[in-house]
Amino acid sequence: MTPKRWLLQFPPRSAPLPGPSGRPGSSERLMMQPPMLSVTMDGVRKAAERSREASYRLQSMSADSKDRALRAIAEAMNRRRREIVSANEKDLRAAEKAGISKTLLKRLRYDGQKLDESLASIRALIKLEDPVGKVLDRTELDRGLVLERVSSPIGVIAVIFESRPDALVQISTLCIKSGNAVILKGGSEAESTNRILADTISAAIEKVDAGFEDAVQLLSTRGEVKELLRQDDLVDLVIPRGSNELVRSIQEGTKIPVMGHAAGICHTYVHSDADIGMAVKICHDAKCQYPAVCNAMETLLVHKDIAAAFLPRMARSFQKARVELRGDDKTRKHIDAKRATEKDWGTEYNDLILSIRIVPSLEDAVEHINKYGSHHTDAIVTSSAGEAKRFMDRVDSSSVIWNASTRFADGYRYGLGAEVGISTNKTHARGPVGLEGLLIYKYRLTGKGHIVADYVGKGAKKFTHRRIR
């Protein structure tokens, strides 16, 4: 789960930045000019080619080499701790001068404590078994002819992230563990920190094995990103980590598959038979526990038969948290709320604002969610397992939740270990994505001189197709 309004140094340049509450403040816009480095487009193509070359070497890198590389990164980062922190202080000073918000400064900060957290993540990653080369299934096609499906790295992954420098460390190490080459582009406000982190990582892994050369590359300008997104013959997957605008602009601008989510319009539907106390607690958590993130609730749907009993209690709970309520006409008969317009149903507030609608049935709730939602995370509160199943079967979202808060939809809480991101894609990987989202498989067939002609025509050999455990 990713905070949705991270600093973006990406078109549109005039995109609103989060205010101190993590919400976009219209009066606060990006004042800092990114350094306009000269972009050598040819250089980007060459960098992508080097990544592709590196990816071929990484594919067959041993688990031991990869873990030694991770250990070397942790050691080097620890050794260069002072340099790294002081580079970050430089970025922080420049950002402060440029007047960016406290929330953003906090995200930009990479101090000793943050560095220690990175080191802890790396050590956890080393402990995980090698995800590459696992035999996923094995079939005997005929005597002596055995087919295996084996997990393998995707290849070259481009990661476009916002200001948080810890993302650079996290994603690079995930890519190394999974045998992928990675090309990174961070926000320019974290330029100094990102540069020293990338240099530290590259130098450390190349010392372990020359095969790691170009495994981790860092681009520095936006123009380079645009060029990189054109290299669909060299880059296999793009992962944007940042604001919805960042994700959307990347999706629009490339033919490379993009893994992520452009919006998080999450719903909670309170069914007629819901336990009202439970519903109030869940909805309060879903809206208020951290409103600036993608899995926070944006619209509350209420069954008409429970509205009179539920809505006033719910509204009191929201009033305490200063949530602005916007309701349809029926809602406004029960509680004090602004009038919600059609636009509200499709809006991701990322803020203490909530739209509320009364629906005549579970089917109408499902229809509303599939129509206005972003297929991210949606919940139902009901006492009936049957109704819950109907809801969860029909709502077309990456996470469907019964009697719990939408805020649980997150890689850490789901127990995936490291989180690559949350995907609303319908192919490859969906929902919170862990290390396995960086993997694909290949088929490995071993014979003893087998040819297809022997399996064709009269008297042909027959396939056994026997699954081998």
Which residues in the 251-290 window bind a second copy by CB under 8 A? 251, 255, 257, 259, 275, 278, 281-282, 284-285, 289-290
Nearer to a second copy among residue 85 and residue 147 (C-beta): 147
Residue placing its CB nearer to a second copy in the complex, 11 or 133: 133
User: Nearest approach, Cβ of 228 to a second copy (angstroms)?
Assistant: 16
**Residue 355-384 contact track with a second copy, rule CB under 8 A, x = bound:** -----------x---x--------------
- Give strand pairing partners of 149: 137, 443
**Residue 238 lies near a second copy (rule: CB under 8 A):** no
By CB under 8 A, residue 415 contacts a second copy: yes
With contacts defined by CB under 8 A, how many residues of the chain interact with a second copy?
74
Q: If binding is defined by CB under 8 A, does position 396 make contact with a second copy? A: yes
Q: What's the closest the beta carbon of residue 403 comes to a second copy, in angstroms?
A: 5
* 408 near a second copy (CB under 8 A): yes
Choice between 168 and 409, CB closer to a second copy:
409
Q: Which residue, 337 or 433, is less far from a second copy as judged by CB?
A: 433
Give 344 or 378: the residue with its C-beta nearer to a second copy: 378
Q: Residue 308 is encoded by which pair of tokens?
A: 């009179």
Query: Which among 338, 366, 365 has a CA at the least distance from the CA of 353?
Result: 338
* Residue closer to a second copy (CB basis): 333 or 428: 428
- Between CA 344 and CA 347 the distance in angstroms is 5
Segment 17-76, which members bind a second copy (CB under 8 A)? 55-56, 59-60
Of the candidates 12, 312, 360, 447, which one interacts with a second copy according to CB under 8 A?
A: 447
- Distance (Å, rounded) from C-alpha 445 to C-alpha 447? 7
Contact assessment for residue 170 and residue 118, using Cβ atoms and an 8 Å cutoff: yes
Rounded to whole angstroms, what are the CA distances from 257 to 13, 152, 230, 428? 24, 18, 12, 10
Q: Binding of a second copy at residue 141 (CB under 8 A)?
A: yes
Q: Which two tokens stand for residue 123?
A: 């050590």
405 binds a second copy (CB under 8 A): yes
Q: Is the peptide bond before 12 cis (omega within 30 degrees of 0)?
A: yes
Q: Which of 159, 237, 340, 365 binds a second copy (CB under 8 A)?
A: 237
Q: Which residues pair with 302 in a beta bridge?
A: 270, 358
Q: Which residues contact 190 (CB under 8 A, 6 or more apart)?
A: 88, 91, 108, 110, 163, 164, 165
From the CB of 434, what's the least distance to a second copy, in Å?
A: 11
To a second copy, the closest distance from the beta carbon of 441 in angstroms equals 6
20, 120, 393, 468: residue in contact with a second copy (rule CB under 8 A)? 393
Give 112's contacts (C-beta < 8 A, 6+ positions apart). Answer: 81, 85
Binding test (CB under 8 A) with a second copy, winner from 167, 357, 398, 418: 398
Q: Is 317 in the site for a second copy (CB under 8 A)?
A: no
Q: How far is the CB of 26 from a second copy (least distance, A)?
A: 27
155 contacts a second copy (rule: CB under 8 A): yes
- The Cα–Cα gap between 179 and 132 comes to 7
- The whole-angstrom separation of Cα 117 and Cα 119 is 5
For a second copy, the closer CB: 123 or 465: 465
Interface region with a second copy, contact rule CB under 8 A, candidates 5-13, 159-167, 181-189, 402-410: 402-410
Contact in structure between 230 and 254 (CB atoms under 8 Å): yes
At which residue do the structure tokens 């002081």 appear? 86
- Is the alpha carbon torsion for 4, 9, 10, 15 positive or negative? positive
32 or 147: whose CB is closer to a second copy?
A: 147
Contact between 216 and 176 (Cβ < 8 Å): yes
Enumerate residues 6+ apart whose C-beta is below 8 A from 206: 212, 213
5: which 2 tokens?
């309004």
Based on the shown chain and the rule CB under 8 A, indicate whether residue 386 belongs to the binding site for a second copy: no
Q: Structure tokens of 51?
A: 């990544």
Q: For strands 377-381 and 266-270, give the pairing.
A: parallel
105 or 141: whose CB is closer to a second copy? 141
CB of 462 to a second copy, least distance (A): 11
> Counting contacts by CB under 8 A, is residue 459 touching a second copy?
no
By CB under 8 A, residue 427 contacts a second copy: yes
Residue 139 engages a second copy in binding (rule: CB under 8 A): yes
Residue from 127, 322, 448, 458 touching a second copy (CB under 8 A): that is: 448
Neighbouring residues of 202: CB distance < 8 A, sequence distance ≥ 6: 212, 215, 216, 217
Both tokens of residue 133?
């080369």
- The nearer residue to a second copy, 35 or 451, going by C-beta atoms, is 451
Q: Which amino acid type is present at position 22?
A: G
